Structure 1
């Protein structure tokens, strides 16, 4: 093989140059991706060089030497960075291989037709060289593409952090300085978010295992949650995974805020949802308030989505840890000093009565006990606390103190009804309604 190529080298060089011209023109005419990326001169030079590299690879292979693949790897990495589709790149390599073989056979025929049979064993060697080159291109392309994707994800995460944290950290105030507002506006533009609209933020409780629970990539393009019915018309979400949980920036569009609850229901997690804001520059405030909303949903209550605007009193308590402690002690101190079972019973009864809007009858149904039992418990609670449930102002105190108990770290579940007596019949009013959740 080496002897044949040496005999036809000059003629083969001319034919390879012609083949490079032909392949360049065909590629630019048929592949818009190449046409948009490279000019004719640059593409022609690259193709010509690759064809010559293939010939040199064939010669090295015939000598028992490894094929030099550094150029092929460099091309793969470069085209990945430039965004040329891998299919376009490999198509050009395959066409180049066919043209090279055609050039070889034509050059041998022109030199000595009788030598053609000696060329045939070289076909396998040539295609092996071409396979090695295309494998090197593909592997390098995919490595560069993966690295580029990781950099892109990190960049998007950084942009999202600017919006969520106001540019200066999770606990920072909402952006007010012009520089901070400008940074938020620039980040929103890079993420493809409109300057004005309807946005909110969702904060998910951290999974104990540390595994992400959002149904999309850690930082995903603004897109509907995959796999959900009607996803095409659902609010769009941009997720961010952090060590303490996951955060979603939601572009609501025309959807009501309550639609976020439906969006999160299949996840089966605790979540806090902030208020609606009108611009990406206000997202940091929505993020802080969403985290506050999550604190109003104790772990003991199980999976649920807490909308801040529906839990403002509890959020007020959560925002003032020192005052929450005083509320617990001053208002419910005597109750908290009771033995565990008595304390749990009274707090459960108070919480259920509040949830039933002061209806003793409805509270009795939920607690699976007689109405008089509820009344007796409430009278005892009034005696212990010195507060009257007929005084609206004192009911507010009791409600806020009860919320403070629920939010206390390590507090016992105080609003779940006690387990019903299996011998007692269930009443319609005691049937809890739950939203159906499907696994993601």
Structure 2
């Protein structure tokens, strides 16, 4: 094979130059990506060089030498950095390979048609050379593309940190600049989502996880303690965030709506607070802060929450586990049912009188009356504090006796502010 190439080298060189012209014209006509990136002279020169490299690779392989692939790797790196699609690059390489074989057979036939049978065994060698060059281009392209993706992800994460943490370096971008680089409007409707780690859903994903076409855009920042999402609501209601998160199967807290990127750091803190109000038991849930404000007040003050549990519900927490669970569940259900004993009984699958008896016992133990709105507020907040603590535990030290409600006159039943059934 090497001997044939040497005999036709001058003619083959002329034919390869013509082939490079033809392939450059075809590529610029058929592939807009190339046409937008390269001029004809530059493209033609690169194609001409690659065709000659393939011929030299054929000669080296016939000698048992490895194919030189440095140029192919350099091409893959360059085109990835320029943003040329890999499909465009590989298509040109495939066209070049077929064109080179056709050019080679024409040159051999013009020199000595009887030598054509000697050329056929070289077809396998040539295609192997072309495969090696294509593989080298592809590997280099993908490695460069992956490196760019990692850098882009790091840059995006840093920009999200500026917005979500409000901690930009002295020479770093401001919140407004970070928002602009992320494609966010200067004024709009934004919210922040904080999803707990260790949920049943995935906590690893792309930095931008688009939902349905009609869903808000979410930019995700993945951290060891979970995911934080910056939501560009646009015209969507805040409630749409709950629908967006439902398929992910995670516990999450959602901030109120804010109107400017500079307010996102505060929204991030409020979303984390909202997450603390979402119960860890009971499966995935999404807590919107504005729907959990009493619980959020308790969550924001851990020391006061502990004191509230002890002072208001201390005697209940000191009961045996089953009694404690029964009374706390009844109180929570009664509060959820907006003070309706009848509705609470239906949810608890017991008689209305059973619920009334449990509530009277709760009043006696706590010294709080369910007919006094101030006492109801105390009991509701204390109950929220118990839920956030987790499973209710017996009090380690009995609380000071709570003031008792004045006795009800004989013959008069104590009434709680329960909704008429």
TM-score (norm 2): 0.86
Q: Deviations over 1:304-341 (max 9, x none)?
A: 22111011011011011111111111211222122222
User: After superposition, what is the alpha-carbon deviation per residue over 1:222-280, rounded to whole angstroms, capped at 9, x for unaligned?
Assistant: x22xxxxxx22122222232211222222222222122222223333322111011123
Q: Does structure 2 retain, via aligned residues, the 8 Å contact 1:212–1:246?
A: no
Measured in 1, the distance between the counterparts of 2:294 and 2:120 equals 86
Counterpart of 1:136? 136
Task: Give the direction of change, closer, same or farther, for the CA distance of 1:290–1:39 in structure 2 (3 Å limit).
Answer: same
RMSD: 2.3
CA distance in structure 1 between the partners assigned to 2:117 and 2:380 by the alignment: 96
Q: Identify the residue that residue 193 of structure 1 maps to in structure 2.
A: 184
Q: Is the 8 A contact 1:167 1:184 kept in 2?
A: no
Mark the CA change 1:136 to 1:162 in structure 2 (over 3 Å): closer, same or farther.
Answer: same
Q: Is the counterpart of residue 23 in structure 1 residue 23 in structure 2?
A: yes
Query: Take 1:99 and 1:106, find their aligned partners in 2: how far apart are those partners?
Result: 11
- TM-superposed CA distance for 1:168, in Å, is 5.3
1:391 maps to 372
Aligned to 1:161: 161
SS at match of 1:65: coil
Question: What's the offset of the Cα at 1:29?
Answer: 2.8
Distance in 1, matches of 2:283 and 2:76, equals 51
What pairs with 1:227-242 in structure 2 (closer than 5 Å)? 231-242=212-223
Check conservation: 2:168, 2:174, Cα contact below 8 A: no
Which of 255, 270, 285 aligns to 1:304? It is 285
How far is the alpha carbon of 1:134 from its aligned partner?
A: 1.4
The alpha carbon displacement at 1:363 in A equals 1.5
Deviation for aligned residue 1:212:
2.2
Please give the secondary structure, in 1, of the residue aligned with 2:174.
helix
Give the deviation of 1:15 after TM superposition.
2.3
Classify 1:268/1:107 alpha carbon distance in 2 versus 1 (closer, same or farther; 3 Å).
Answer: closer
- Match of residue 204 from structure 1: 195
SS of 1:306's partner is strand
Give 5+ residue unaligned stretches, structure 2: 394-421
Q: Does 1:365 align with 2:363?
A: no
Match of 1:330 in 2: 311
Looking at structure 1, the residues matched to 167 and 38 of structure 2 have their Cα atoms a distance apart, in angstroms, of: 39
Q: Distance in 2 between matches of 1:299 and 1:308?
A: 16
- 2:237 alignment partner in structure 1: 256
- 1:271–1:294 Cα contact (<8 Å) kept: yes
- Give the whole-Å Cα distance in 2 for the aligned partners of 1:218 and 1:53: 40
3-state DSSP class of the match of 1:315?
helix
**Offset of 1:208 from its aligned partner?**
5.6
Query: What TM-score, normalized to structure 1?
Result: 0.83
2:14 maps to which residue? 14
**CA shift digits 1:391-435 (9 cap, x unpaired):** 1112111111111111115546xxxxxxxxxxxxxxxxxxxxxxx
Q: Secondary structure at the match of 1:202?
A: strand
Cα distance between partner residues in 1 of 2:339 and 2:299:
23
Q: Which residue of 1 aligns with 2:145?
A: 145
Equivalence for 1:83:
83
* Matching of residues 23-422 of structure 1 within 5 Å: 23-167=23-167, 183-207=174-198, 212-213=202-203, 217-220=205-208, 223-224=210-211, 231-411=212-392
Rounded Cα–Cα distance in structure 2 between residues aligned with 1:242 and 1:264: 18
Cα shift at 1:218:
3.3
Mean Cα deviation higher: 260-269 or 377-386: 260-269
Report how far residue 33 of structure 1 moved: 1.0
Q: Provide the secondary structure at the position in 2 that maps to 1:68.
A: coil
Other-structure match for 1:422: none
Mark the CA change 1:233 to 1:208 in structure 2 (over 3 Å): closer, same or farther: closer
Q: Residues of 2 paired with 1:112 and 1:308: CA distance? A: 85
The 2-side partners of 1:25 and 1:192 are apart by 38
Structure with the greater alpha carbon radius of gyration: 2
Number of corresponding residues = 393
Q: Distance in 1 between matches of 2:145 and 2:290?
A: 44
Q: Could you tell me how far apart the structure 2 residues matched to 1:61 and 1:75 are? A: 21
